[in-house]
Every structure is written in structure tokens, then in C-alpha cells.
Structure 1
Amino acid sequence: KTGTLTHGQPVLSKVMAAPGIEEDELVRLAAIAEQYSAHTLAHSIVVGAQQRGLTVEPCTDVTETTAAGLTATIDGKKVVVGKYSFIAEQDPSTVRVEITAGELAVYVAIDGEFAGALLLRDELRADAPDTLQWLSALGVRHTLMLTGDGKVTAEHVARELGVTNVRAECLPLDKVRAVEAVTDRPVMMVGDGVNDAPVLAAANVGVAMGARGSTAASESADVVIMKDDLHRVARSIEIGQQTIRIALQSIWIGISLSLILMVLATFGLIPAVVGAGFQEVIDVIAILNALRALGTSRWLVKLHLAPRSLQPQQSSV
């Protein structure tokens, strides 16, 4: 998702208030409502209000609509904060503001009338391009970006990373349907927000960025990255692949050596007692080889400390 490929900490960059509405008042009302949400954008708006020296007071009757926005009563006014479509339900005359690449807009309505929009900017993570390159080298053939952000922001992020398959303005259910519709399996989904919990559970392998993500996402995922390092998504795949290779090696080593001893025993070349002893030796060899998997993560970390040096092979699509 987009928020995983960016820093996930948008900064309030611009306030566009409707006529008759002061910018600080618009930010204050939005922040008071958003303080009750766990969404990343909500936190950014609250921080933006505090940086302006505004007081974020408690309010009443707060209702959050998943992946849409919040409704709250503030100073006797009904304040609605959220996506364009959510605000347009309150006031059909809501104006969609122009945003540039890397920006996203949060809209506000007061007492059923469009009051303005708050523009936030989020930058691409420095480790995102390396991670996608690394995934490609590991054989990941298709990359799909699912996001609840607007089309302009989503396409900007995708263009920077070379991702061609993008679906913007997705609700949590839309993300689940998109993952279920993918024919190539297995499918791995990487996310960190509370809204990502359903799609992480729907994927064959759900990976949660637990260091900065929500508890719900971590509980729904199969893999939790405990450090805020996107490289570890690719590293976890490589560790898994290497572990499978070592496991198969151990199986075939055990089978091969056992077959050789069986043939020798059949022709009477080794006594039964010696054969039994050799079988124990074979078990020890297979176990010791399998234990190599414990050191897999260490040498992979050293091998890929500088992923930019990777020269990935072009995988088929």
C-alpha cells in the first residue's frame, strides 16, 4: 500500500478554507475531531494544529466511519472530516481541490456545508526502490499497489517506483476483493494500518510493518516486521527461500545416504549392527545440515547491507 512505501508521516502543508472560514479555525475543528482517530492522517492533522499553537480540546458525539472519516459535535457544531466522497454526502457542492504529486487532501464540512480542505504531503521512503528491486531479484513477478489515497498521489508514488498496476481510492473491502481476484499464487500483502487488517488476513501471506503499524494489522498478519525497515520485507522472503532449500537438501542427503547403505547391506557388505550405527550417523548429518538455517539471517544481512549493489535478473511477467 502507498503508506508503506512512503514515510507514513504526512505533514500539514497547506490550508484551503472556504469563504468566511478562518484557516486556523478550520484546522482547530478538524484536529479536535481527528484526535479520536488512530489513522496516520488524523495524527498529522493534530500535530499540525499544535504546531500552529492551537488548542485541541475534547469534544462529544464522535463517530468514525471506517476508511471514510469522522463526525463530531464541537462547540455545538456538527463537524465532518474525511474523504471527498464522505464530505460530498454532507454537501453536494463540495469542491474537489487541486493537489500536486505527493499531496493528499482531507476535506471538512461544518453544519452540513463544505468548509475547506487540509493538504498534507508525504515523501517516498528511501528504501522503497531498493526493496522493490530486491523483490524482483527474488522472483516476485507482479506488484500491485492498493491505496485509499487519491489517484494523483497514488500514481505519483507508483511512477517514482516503476509500479504500473495501481488501484487508488480503495476501501478496505476493495483491497480484499483485489487480492482475492489475483490469479497468480501465492499472494503477499504488506501493510501497516488498522484498515489493512482484513486484506492482510485475505492474502496467502500477510506482512505487517509492526514497528509503526497498528495492533490489528499485526494480529492479522502472518509475518510482523518489528523494525521500521522496508528492506526486511525482501529479507524475510530470502530467509524463507534459503530455509526451504536447506530443508530439501537435508531430506535428500538423508534419503541418498540411507539408500546407499541399504544397497551395501543387501549384498552383505556391512553387518546389521554397523548399518544401524551408520543410520544414526546419517540422522546426525541431516540434522546438522538443517541447523544451517539458523545462521541464514546473519549471512543474508551481511550480503545485503547495501541493496543498491544488487543486479537483479529480469523475471518473467
Structure 2
Amino acid sequence: MSRGVGLVRRFPWVAATLVVGFAALLLTLSPWSPAGQWLLVAYVVLMAARSAWAMVHDLVKGSFGVDVIAVTAIAAAVLVGEEWAALVIVLMLTTGEALEAYAAARARRDLSALLARNPQTALRIQPSGDIEPVAVAALSPGDRILVRADEMIPVDGTLLDSPGVLDESSLTGESLPVEKEPGDEVLSGAMNGRTAITLLVVRRADQSQYQQIVALVEDAAATKAPIVRLADRFALPFAIAAYVIAGAAWWMSGDPARFAEVLVVATPCPLIIAAPVAFIAGMSRAARHGIIIRTSATLEELHRVRTFAFDKTGTLTKGTPALVGVQPAAPFTEDTVLGLAAAVEANSSHALAASTVAGARERGLILTPATNASETTASGITGTVGGARVSVGKRDYVAEHVESGIPDLRPRPGEMATYVAVDGRFAGMLVFEDRVRDEARATLDRLRSSGVRTVVMLTGDTSPTAEHIAADLDIRDVHANCLPADKVSIVQHIAGRPVAMVGDGVNDAPVLAAADIGIAMGARGATAASEAAGAVILRDDLSCVADAVQIAQRTIRIGLESIWIGIALSLALMGVAAFGLVPALLGAWLQEGVDVIAIVWALRATRER
């Protein structure tokens, strides 16, 4: 029962049409038969006026929609006394609206949990030292807040008391962790590291970096031109054909009822219903692949995309530094240096510590537990491993534990290094880099084979780092050192349209909104990016981008096939009705049969190839 009530609330016009039809039928079979007829006339005229108002609104904006024929058919049917035929047309119209509303609601529901990750509360430290949770909007400059490990910074602030390590990749595109000292400014939207930090609030939430980017998103979205729906592209030629056939039938027969009979079977049911069904089917199939496509407009644009722009960090790359090399100093070997460093780093909260341990395990090294470990936050850690005193960390930190100094070893652009000393001797250097995703090359190849002509990289990283990644992926159009506004400007001026932008960070949100199609890699929880995007990839897998394009292309192809099948059958029925062989009510139900055929064909979009 509750499910039925819920359906009525979600689709009230479909329910109202069915109720009116049932009530009119009962009245028609009773002594009050004229009342049933008047009820039908009043309702269909009301619904025609409702559709006509929306139609006029669209025409004022320069859009000719498929509702024009339906409104004309309802009016013609009423004028010649075919109220039941008019009701069937109204049922078709309301069903089409309900299908589109269902698709939009489903996309919003699938995204609701994802978009709830934006911090809504903060931990404010009272003068007494007590900690109380408060709404982020209630914070004021001068407040002190506690940000726990692995939490997003809720407002702009200044770091207090002790150093911290932050992941600012979602803000700046820089993939390597950023070390902050007391007194340094920390921007909202960054992710805290593995130790809690204390901040002094310097700006209210609505003035902080995160909210400024959200405002830029809104501006970019407001300037993006709307697209023409797939069905509306066929509306004008189909309407002209229908009016010509109906007018010719009336002129040749001299019977105005013939005009209504032709328009009833000309009602564009396949245009109104078949395309939304195909879109819902395609969006459902995409959801099974971990892709949430939020609107049918996104699906339509995605199928003909010609340019793809990609953010680098966390999109084309994994977004976290990985161990890519060990440079030992004689007489130490690579495995010895890495094994000793990993044993000590297992006790550290530094962002590179986990990468060091993971790199040792990938090589199959067995780690000896370290004892007497002592860490200096954001600098390094020292511990005892098998009787040897091992120090791991920044160059300056390790230099304090080396008697003869450190050779001039430096990482390349885009790399980060930690240095290792053993018993007062320099032992070597560990090199880290944000590596290209394993699936990135194959994904770009699939996009190119699907009709994408140009691939562009937009990143806030430096040119040497960006060029290095681009060379690995055969990307020739590279824009480095980009701020969020720079990315928006570049995308807006790309010649090959439509343009799809793929990103994952807060700094990508404005360009995702400005692009013809924004695709957010939502697995990492960049809320602003997901809100700005037309499609969200829920899995941490770049190949889903190519899946989305191919699903969109197949969905649109099936939708077009459904429309053409419906148009062909409607034209055939119009030809028969023009000779007076199809009464209006029968024509309305025959048109519903055309709907069924078009819908069954459209449902093929749910299946894999």
C-alpha cells in the first residue's frame, strides 16, 4: 500500500489521468452519462492548456518541442467529439514526463551518499580546552578547531602548535604531500594527514577557498549553453508531415473528423516515450559499471564527444606517491637500504611511510621490527633495527645523523625523495613518484577508437612533471601550472566540441561545470567535483570513462532506432487514417501499440553488447 501511495505522490499526473478515466467510465455506464463526457472534456482541456503553456514557454526560448502535435491532436479530438482518444493522448504525455522525472530522481538518489562527504561540522576547541562539535557555518575568525587524521580541512586557517602533512592534490593538482609548519596557512578542501592538527580559523566558511571554488562552479554552469533534446530534433519535420497529411485528408474528404483521426495516430508517442526509456535503460546499464550519469542531456552529449581534457593528479595518475627507485650508497644494496628504511617507517605517520613499507612488501622483503623509534613530525624518524641505528627522512634531518655528509643526490622534477642513514653513514635515497594508472593508456586508446579526436592534459603541476606523464600516454596538448580559472578558460576556447573534462579534485570543479560534459572521479570523495559534474565514476578505475562513452553511443543509437521505428509506423497509420479507415479512438490505441514496439526496442539499451 505504501509503495502505491509513493508512486502516486511521485507521478501525480499519471495517477490523475487514470483516476479521471476510471471515473468517467463509471459515469458513462450510469444514468449520468453526460457527466462522464463533461469530466473527460474538462480534464483533457486542462491538460492541453498545461502542455500548451509549457510549449509556448519553449517556443519563446526558441525551442520547438514534440508537445506541439500532441496539444493539436487533443484539441482536434475534443472538437470532433473524441474525448476518449484525447484522454489516451494525455496518458501518453504524462507517462513521458514521469519517465524523464524518474530518470533524474534515480540519478540524484544514487549520488546522495557520495555528495554527503563534504564536512558539515567541525570540532571547536573551547577556552577551557573542551571540544564541541559545531556547524562549519558557525565558525568565526579567531576560533580554534581540531582536525582529526584523514579529515578534510573545513575552513581556511593557520596551523598551530605542531607541524602537519597535508594532501593538497584536490586543490592544487600537486600529487606529493605538502609539509606545513606552525604559522603556515592551510586551505579548506585539503585533506589532513595521519596525525591530528590544530588550526586557528582565519576566514568564515563562506569566504574560504572551498566556497570560492564552489562559487566559480556556479558561474561556469550558468554560462554553459543548453543542448537540444534528441526527440526535439525530429519534432518540426514530423509535425509538418503530420499537418500536411491531416490537412490533405480533411480537404479531400471534406470531413473535419478526418483531420483529428490523422493527428491522433500522428501523436509523437515514440518521440516522447521511446527516447526516455532508452536513456533510462542506458543510465541503468552505466550504473552497473559504477558510472552515474545524472541527466539524459549528459548522455546525449557524451555519445558525440570529440575532445577529452584530463586532469593529471588522481585522474591519469594514481594520485598517491609510490616507490619508484632506490639509489644505495656503497657498500649498501637496494634491498638492505629499503628493508631498514621500511622497518623504521612502519612506526611513522608520514605520508611517504606507507609507500615505503608497501614498496618493501612488493619486493618480498621481510621486515625486522624497529625499536626505540623517535619521530620528528614532518622531518624524519630514527629507530633501531637489528642493532643498527637507522634514520629516515628529509635531507636536512638525515644530514644531522651522518658524520661525513650526504652526496649531491637529487630527485628529478615530479619526484620526491627520502634519505637513509645507518649508524652514522649515508646509506642511500628512496625515490617516490605519482605513477600513471595501469589502465590509462588502454583507456585513451579506446576513447580515440570511439571517435575522440583530441586529448588534452590540464594540470596545476609543473611543466617537467606534466610533460613526463604526457609523454608516457602520447598526449601532445599539455597545459601545466593551471589555476582553476585557467582550466575554465582553456576548455571554453577548445575548438573541437563537445568537450568532456575528467577530474577528481576540488580545483577541478569549476572546469567540470564549464565543460560540455564534466566527469568526476568520485571514488576519492571530492564533493565539489561530483556536484559540478554531469557524470560521476564511483569506482577508482579510469577505464570507466571509456565505458561511459561507449554506453552512451550504444544508448543513443538504440534510442534513434526506436524513434525511427515509431515514426515509420506512425506515418503508415497516418496514411491509412487519411482514407477514413481508422476511427479516432482505435487510432489512439493503435498508437499505444506503436509505443509498445518502440519501448521494447529501446529496452535493448539495458543489455551488454
TM-score band by shorter chain is 0.5 to 0.7
- Equivalent in the alignment of 1:233: 545
Q: Does 1:285 align with 2:285?
A: no
Q: Does 1:104 align with 2:411?
A: no
For 1:174 and 1:274, the matched residues in 2 are separated by: 60
- Equivalent in the alignment of 1:124: 436
Which structure has the bigger radius of gyration? 2
Deviation at 1:177, TM superposition (A): 1.7
Distance 1:257 1:169, change over 3 A: same
For 2:439 and 2:357, the matched residues in 1 are separated by: 30
Distance 1:230 1:167, change over 3 A: same
For 2:557 and 2:540, the matched residues in 1 are separated by: 28
Does the Cα contact within 8 Å between 2:506 and 2:528 map onto a contact in 1? yes
TM-score when scaled to structure 2?
0.33
Distance 1:131 1:273, change over 3 A: same
Alignment of 1:75-90 (within 5 A): none
- Equivalent in the alignment of 1:2: 312
Distance 1:167 1:213, change over 3 A: farther
Q: 1:44 aligns with which of 351, 354, 372?
A: 351
Q: 1:150 aligns with which of 453, 462, 471?
A: 462
Write the deviation string for residues 120-158 of structure 1: whole angstroms up to 9, x where unpaired. Answer: 412111100010001101111111101122222211111
Deviation at 1:274, TM superposition (A): 5.0
For 1:46 and 1:218, the matched residues in 2 are separated by: 30
Alignment of 1:240-279 (within 5 A): 240-268=552-580, 275-279=587-591
For 1:148 and 1:7, the matched residues in 2 are separated by: 16
Deviation at 1:269, TM superposition (A): 5.3
For 1:54 and 1:237, the matched residues in 2 are separated by: 51
- Equivalent in the alignment of 1:65: none
Deviation at 1:236, TM superposition (A): 0.7
Distance 1:171 1:285, change over 3 A: same
The structure with higher relative contact order (CA 8 Å, sep 6+) is 2
Which one-letter code corresponds to 2:415 in the other structure? L
In structure 1, stretches of 5+ residues that fail to align are 15-34, 36-42, 59-96, 107-117, 300-317
Q: Does 1:164 align with 2:476?
A: yes
Alpha carbon RMSD of aligned pairs, Å? 3.4
Distance 1:238 1:13, change over 3 A: closer
Q: Secondary structure at the match of 1:139?
A: coil
Q: Does 1:215 align with 2:504?
A: no
- Equivalent in the alignment of 2:513: 201
Distance 1:281 1:120, change over 3 A: same
Q: Secondary structure at the match of 1:8?
A: strand
Distance 1:293 1:165, change over 3 A: same
Deviation at 1:50, TM superposition (A): 10
Write the deviation string for residues 80-116 of structure 1: whole angstroms up to 9, x where unpaired. Answer: xxxxxxxxxxxxxxxxx96437x3359xxxxxxxxxx
For 1:56 and 1:199, the matched residues in 2 are separated by: 39
Does the Cα contact within 8 Å between 1:146 and 1:166 map onto a contact in 2? yes
Does the Cα contact within 8 Å between 1:144 and 1:165 map onto a contact in 2? yes
For 1:173 and 1:121, the matched residues in 2 are separated by: 27
Deviation at 1:278, TM superposition (A): 2.6
Does the Cα contact within 8 Å between 1:138 and 1:238 map onto a contact in 2? yes
For 1:150 and 1:261, the matched residues in 2 are separated by: 64
Write the deviation string for residues 215-270 of structure 1: whole angstroms up to 9, x where unpaired. Answer: 22112211110011111101111111222122222211111101111212323555
Write the deviation string for residues 62-97 of structure 1: whole angstroms up to 9, x where unpaired. Answer: xxxxxxxxxxxxxxxxxxxxxxxxxxxxxxxxxxx9
Distance 1:124 1:202, change over 3 A: same
Percentage identity across aligned positions?
Answer: 51
Does the Cα contact within 8 Å between 1:209 and 1:226 map onto a contact in 2? yes
For 1:288 and 1:160, the matched residues in 2 are separated by: 45
| Matched residue count | 225
